[in-house]
Structure 1
């Protein structure tokens, strides 16, 4: 597997995971436990 492919896959997974957890943040969940807090532009 090429490095850029691996990096792209990891980034896609991270974004997807953040998107899945976004409702928890939006509803006042515990953002400290969610990787989505690393993407503030997606959680607002």
Structure 2
């Protein structure tokens, strides 16, 4: 039982790290795309 619990918690921790990494990557990509788009269109076009 303890081994299974340890494996389960380790797996959960790994999945949490993976999902956090994917979430951060999506946010980073969205921000990067927004900045690049803003620079390409020009700052005064946003207003």
Q: TM-score, normalised by structure 2?
A: 0.48
**Relative to total residues, which structure has the larger helix share, 1 or 2?**
2
Q: Which residue of 2 aligns with 1:35?
A: none
Give ranges in structure 1 of 5+ residues lacking alignment.
28-44
Give ranges in structure 2 of 5+ residues lacking alignment.
33-47
Which has more radius of gyration?
2
Of the two structures, which has the highest relative contact order with CA contacts closer than 8 Å and spacing of 6 or more?
Answer: 1
Q: TM-score, normalised by structure 1?
A: 0.50
Alpha-carbon RMSD across the aligned residues, in angstroms, is 1.5
Q: Write out per-residue CA displacement over residues 23-42 of structure 1, whole angstroms, 9 at most, x where no aligned residue.
A: 31x42xxxxxxxxxxxxxxx
Number of aligned residues: 26
Q: Which 4+ residue blocks in structure 1 deviate beyond 6 angstroms? A: none
